[in-house]
Amino acid sequence: MHIDLNADVGEGCGDDAALMPLITSASLACGGHAGDAASMRATVAAAVKSGVRIGAHVSYPDREGFGRRELSLPPATVTTAVLEQLRALDDVTRAAHTRIGYLKAHGALYNRMADDAVTADAVIAAIKSFDAVLAVLTLPGSIAMEHARLHGLQAVGEAFIDRAYTSAARLVPRSQKGAVITDITAVARQAVALATSGTIMSADGLDICVHAESLCVHGDTPGAIDLARAVRKVLEEAGVNVHAFT
């Protein structure tokens, strides 16, 4: 058994430097919802130092709402915004003698492209214009995954160890109580279940299947460092080989 452990970083919250040795992939904010040239340079340097794979964490251009507000933007605008973020991070990674390995959308854009073909295709168009070798990290069984594969891209299923799921295998909205899981024991239990069986319990008590190659801990979740450390430990104790998917 093997699994990737990723975290959303470079968002100006949490301790990215302390998180890096515990993860294998870093989804790095590149200007849409957070991040600037200085933060990208610092976060890329930390990732390189720890041998962590770098991904572009792109979003709607919505710094005020931290990329978590639903925006009605034309597909061409979404493509342009994503492409600009990719290019901004690419400038930094090239200067550090490394490269972007994958793309992961953030917040509202992540959720929208999971179920909306037009939005998924807009993001995919940006990837193909930038570098069609990039993998797409997204929800398993989603429209985003299906369309990425139809366009010849590598699509990698992601699950969240610190978020509750609905019975439809979608994330419980953050506005609802219990959407973010902060209890270390509960997070560790969910991580092991996802990595070993792909079956977890939804917020309403149903068993659901979530087949993922990468597990995410949010860098802004309270106690993220302790969560990541505990998860890395229990995964290895369960015989799971933790390494980057790309």
User: What is the per-residue pLDDT across 132-158, written as a single tens digit (0 to 9) for each?
Assistant: 999 999 999 999 999 999 999 999 999
| Confidence at residue 223, expressed as pLDDT on a 0 to 100 scale | 82
Contact 105, 59 (CB under 8 A): yes
| Confidence at residue 246, expressed as pLDDT on a 0 to 100 scale | 74
Q: What does 113-131 look like in DSSP terms, one character per residue?
A: HHH-HHHHHHHHHHHHHH-
Q: In the numeric block, which tokens belong to residue 80?
A: 């342009």
pLDDT at 175 > cutoff 90: no
Q: Domains in the chain and their CATH numbers?
A: 2-242 (3.20.20.370)
User: What is the per-residue pLDDT across 3-52, written as a single tens digit (0 to 9) for each?
Assistant: 999 999 999 887 899 999 999 999 999 999 999 999 999 999 999 999 99
> Which region among 10-19, 49-58, 73-82 has the lowest average model confidence (pLDDT)?
10-19
Across residues 200-222, what is the average pLDDT? 90
Contact 156, 173 (CB under 8 A): no
Residues 6 or more apart whose Cβ sits within 8 Å of residue 155: 135, 136, 138, 144, 145, 146, 148, 149
Residue with tokens 């969560």: 227
% of residues, the chain, pLDDT over 70: 100
| Confidence at residue 201, expressed as pLDDT on a 0 to 100 scale | 93
Taking the alpha carbons of 69, 36, 220, 107 in that order, is the dihedral positive or negative?
positive
Q: 102 forms bridges with which residues in the sheet?
A: 55, 135
Contact 103, 55 (CB under 8 A): yes
Q: 195 forms bridges with which residues in the sheet?
A: none
What is the C-alpha to C-alpha distance for residues 246 and 235, in angstroms, rounded to an integer?
Answer: 19
Contact 148, 166 (CB under 8 A): no
Residue 213, phi then psi, degrees to nearest 5: -105, -10
Indicate the helix (H) or strand (E) that contains 88: helix 75-95
* Length in residues, the chain: 246
| Confidence at residue 174, expressed as pLDDT on a 0 to 100 scale | 86
The neighbour count for residue 223, using CB atoms within 10 Å, is: 16
